[in-house]
Structure 1
Amino acid sequence: MTLVATAGADAAASAPAPAPTPGRKRPGMSLSWLGLVPFTAYVLLFLAVPTVLAIGSGFFTDDGSFTWANVAALGDPVVLTTFANSAWLSLLTAVVGAVVGALVCYALLGMNPQGGIRTTVDAAAGVLAQFGGVMLAFAFIATIGTQGVVTVFLRDAFGLDIFANGNWLYALPGLILPYIYFQVPLMVITFMPALAGLKPQWAEANLTLGGTRASFWMRVGLPVLAPSFLASLLLLFANAFSSYATAAALASQGSQIVPLQIRAALTSETVLGRENLAGALALGMIVVVGVVMFLYSLIQRRAARWQS
């Protein structure tokens, strides 16, 4: 018995080691984190560092001494007016963009996801959501500007002058249409996955229990979609609140909204008798956008439970 056990032990010791199972992680440090290096560098260079510099400059003068004067400027009536203008402009365009975009998503819901209309709308939404800045401003100026194609046509054909009450396109009201132009496609992109996530089994269960189409939307559809809709609305608000290029190209005179007020603070030597006011204004914008995006993340977590 001892001889057999010894022979078995020797055979086991001389047997080759089993081959590693495919897919099993080998010991040692993983290098998968290297894939995050470019993204991390991008975030640090173009987001974190500018944010820190913008916030820090609001608490210092040009000679490097600490001051509260810049932050105190946020309570100035002129600055409060620009924040109020940015808030109502962002809220108005976000609500209109969210409602119109949700209706577009509802119209696309019954179509084949691989069909021509659905893919065309999805592609157009992805492009138009990023179509902003000087290009969008030029498009509106060439279309409904003082000498735009539509303006001249209405004036010559019907005697209708859309600028009879002033050049509204180049003032704060003129930003509403361009902002809605890129808010609607953004809503389509963000809200369509949530609407497509409604399970057909829910509608079938509603019909089985004697419900109607109206009762399904009131008791199932709208409550489930409400977090996603509200999250998309907050995203649209933040998008409009932080937009600069389109407003800078259209409203070249005055500083009606916060981004234009920051431009004025950067290009002028003194604004309201304070130095580095742009940093304080940027701090105010960062706080507003930060609060909005924090609420967006909280609501999105709740919405994700129904989308999983």
Structure 2
Amino acid sequence: MTSPSLTSTTNPGPELPAPAQGRARPSTAWLGLVPFGAYLALFLVLPTVLAIATGFFDKAGAFTWSNLSALVDPVILTTFWNTTWLSLLTAAVGAIIGAIVCYATMGLPPTGGIRTTLDAATGVLAQFGGVMLAFVFIATIGVQGVVTILLKDTFGIDLQPGTWLYSVPGLILPYIYFQVPLMIITFLPALAALKPQWAEANLTLGGSRVSFWLRIGFPVLAPSFLASFLLLFANAFSSYATAAALASQGSQIVPLQIRAALTSETVLGRENLAGALALGMIVIVGVAMGLYALLQRRAARWQS
């Protein structure tokens, strides 16, 4: 005889009704972007709109092409050329030195003392510019700078023949000073994304260190390197405070030419020339940053 306990089944009880599906609440995560959006609108969008508006209108508010025609003036073209070669030179030097430093730090542990100190120093030095940076160079290698006087009195070497520090060539060293840390910040993640498996596969197939860099390393890093170079170019092209503090006389580069157009009392009837100069500057920097975005998108495939 079979025991009732073995043949009886357990009553699962009535099924509970599924919870009612209420209307999904709208997400409020976008509210976190409001401060950043306001910052962009106030300090990026509004100045851009003002530059475009003033570049195409005269003092009376009438549409005119006369402001833009000043961009083909030989003096203005020389100013744009000075800014371009200064930006290209400092971006190239900063990119090369920064890439070498990044390569030298790859063998260090990420949490080690040297690597941590380098990360902290680059973060600070990349933002160290303006009047403070100009004062450092004036006090160090200026006409009466500490190093200038020391070399002149000790070895008879004059670092300031013709006071070159206060001209366009004198901006090269200060610009490189903040270009190198910026390159390290932007290029080090790309270099760290090189997978050790790629080097092992290269050795397994009979390759050497040279073949690894020629066939794998350089092609993979080329988009990131070029993107960082364009970022450095745009950074130097738009720098103002350091140049304004050092080259206080004259308007050899575009940011200083814009300052002169805004403050000069001798340029009558061309009050909106600064807007035209800013418009030309926005176009050049915009093209550089557009190319930077395209290269960075290509480089992101290898960094994921």
Provide the rounded CA distance (Å) in 2 between the counterparts of 1:277 and 1:75: 12
Does the CA contact (< 8 Å) of 1:143 and 1:150 recur in 2?
A: yes
Unaligned runs of 5+ in 2: 1-10
* 2:182 is equivalent to residue 197 of structure 1: no
Match of 2:138 in 1: 141
Identity %: 76
Residues 1:67 and 2:64 are matched in the alignment? yes
The reply to whether residue 179 of structure 1 matches residue 144 of structure 2 is no
CA contact (8 A) 2:262 2:271 kept: no
Unaligned runs of 5+ residues in structure 1 are 1-7
Structure 1 match to 2:49? 52
Which residue does 1:220 correspond to in 2? 216
TM-score, normalised to structure 1's length? 0.92
The one-letter code sitting in structure 2 at the alignment partner of 1:210 is G
For residues 1-308 of structure 1, what are the structure 2 equivalents within 5 Å?
11-12=14-15, 15-18=16-19, 27-164=24-161, 166-271=162-267, 274-308=270-304
CA distance in 2: counterparts of 1:224 and 1:91, whole angstroms: 23
Kindly provide the amino acid, as one letter, of the partner of residue 113 in structure 2: G
Structure 2 CA distance, aligned partners of 1:213 and 1:271?
A: 61
Deviation, structure 1 residue 306: 0.7
Q: Note if contact 1:145-1:151 (Cα within 8 Å) is conserved in structure 2.
A: yes
In the TM superposition, residue 18 of structure 1 has moved relative to its aligned partner by 4.5
Deviation at 1:269, TM superposition (A): 3.2
Displacement, 1:16? Answer: 5.0
Whole-angstrom CA distance in 2 between matches of 1:193 and 1:86: 29
Q: What amino acid is the match of 2:285?
A: V
CA–CA separation in structure 2 for the residues paired with 1:271 and 1:81: 18
Aligned residues: 293
Name the SS of the counterpart of 2:281 in structure 1.
helix
Q: 1:153 to 1:207 in 2, by over 3 A?
A: same
Q: Deviations over 1:210-230 (max 9, x none)?
A: 111111011100110000000
String of CA shifts for 1:108-132, please: whole Å, max 9, x gaps: 0110000000110111001000000
Q: Is the 8 A contact 2:87 2:236 kept in 1?
A: yes
Provide, for residues 242-290 of structure 1, a one-character-per-residue CA deviation record: whole Å limited to 9, x for no partner: 0000000000000000000000000013438623100000000000000
Q: Deviations over 1:93-113 (max 9, x none)?
A: 000000000000000011000
Amino acid at match of 1:138: F
Residue-by-residue CA offset, 1:73-107 (whole Å, 9 max, x unaligned)? 10100100000000000000000000000000000
Q: Letter of the aligned partner of 1:70 in structure 2?
A: N
